[in-house]
């Protein structure tokens, strides 16, 4: 994408720290097999506040995507996630949208890396030995999935329809 297709406004007031160090960005991207999307973000250089979202430029219907991870190669599958989407990884976690939820374009590996970081924080801050052990076991399971040694389902539900799992293996249904 060229700089001409990306707009930035700097020096705006940050809603968190009230400094005039907020940068607003808007960029249009073509996501193969999904279409054109608009990426919005705001980032503050003072307090590091960040908020982002992705919106399909063509009208989308509410949708649910289900994908079965069976190999390490499946980690490369492209994912578009809006701030309104819920990601379900059965028996591991559910990522629900909220006021601080971000939209992004990533791949399945990127989602698992985000989950892995959260579990590592839980492990490192847990006082209860049982909680530490549970987190360690969950990290082992996540690694096995990421290495293609264990199958796992991933589900994205989006009432806005602005999310997708870009693969012929992904099953799309109405939400």
Q: Are residues 147 and 125 in the same domain?
A: yes
Q: Are residues 107 and 146 in the same domain?
A: yes
Q: Are residues 72 and 48 in the same domain?
A: no
Q: pLDDT class for 175, splitting at 50, 70, 90?
A: confident
Give the residue-averaged pLDDT of 141-160.
Answer: 96
Name the percent of the chain lying above pLDDT 90.
76
User: Is 2's pLDDT higher than 50?
Assistant: no
Closest CA to 108 of 138, 158, 152, 149: 152
Name the percent of the chain lying above pLDDT 70.
97
Helix (H, G, I), strand (E, B) or coil at 57: coil
Question: Over the chain, what is the mean pLDDT?
Answer: 92
Q: pLDDT class for 1, splitting at 50, 70, 90?
A: very low
- pLDDT: which is higher, 69 or 37: 69
Q: Are residues 64 and 46 in the same domain?
A: no
Instruction: Output the pTM of the full model.
Output: 0.80
Helix (H, G, I), strand (E, B) or coil at 153: strand
Query: The tokens 């908020």 sit on which residue?
Result: 51
Structural domain boundaries enclosing 39: 1-58
Closest CA to 163 of 61, 82, 101, 107: 82
């Amino acid at each position: 994408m060229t700089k001409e297709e990306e707009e930035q406004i700097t020096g705006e007031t940050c809603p968190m720290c009230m400094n005039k160090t907020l940068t607003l960005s808007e960029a249009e991207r073509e996501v193969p097999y999904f279409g054109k999307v608009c990426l919005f973000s705001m980032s503050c250089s003072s307090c590091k506040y960040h908020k982002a979202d992705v919106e399909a430029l063509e009208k989308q219907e509410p949708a649910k995507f289900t994908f079965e991870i069976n190999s390490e190669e499946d980690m490369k599958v492209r994912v578009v996630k809006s701030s309104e989407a819920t990601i379900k990884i059965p028996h591991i976690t559910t990522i629900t949208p909220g006021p601080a939820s971000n939209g992004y374009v990533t791949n399945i590996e990127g989602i698992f890396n985000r989950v892995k970081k959260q579990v590592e924080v839980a492990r490192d801050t847990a006082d209860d030995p049982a909680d530490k052990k549970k987190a360690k076991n969950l990290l082992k399971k996540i690694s096995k999935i990421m290495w293609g040694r264990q199958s796992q389902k991933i589900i994205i539900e989006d009432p806005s329809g602005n999310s997708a799992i870009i693969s012929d293996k992904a099953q799309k249904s109405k939400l």
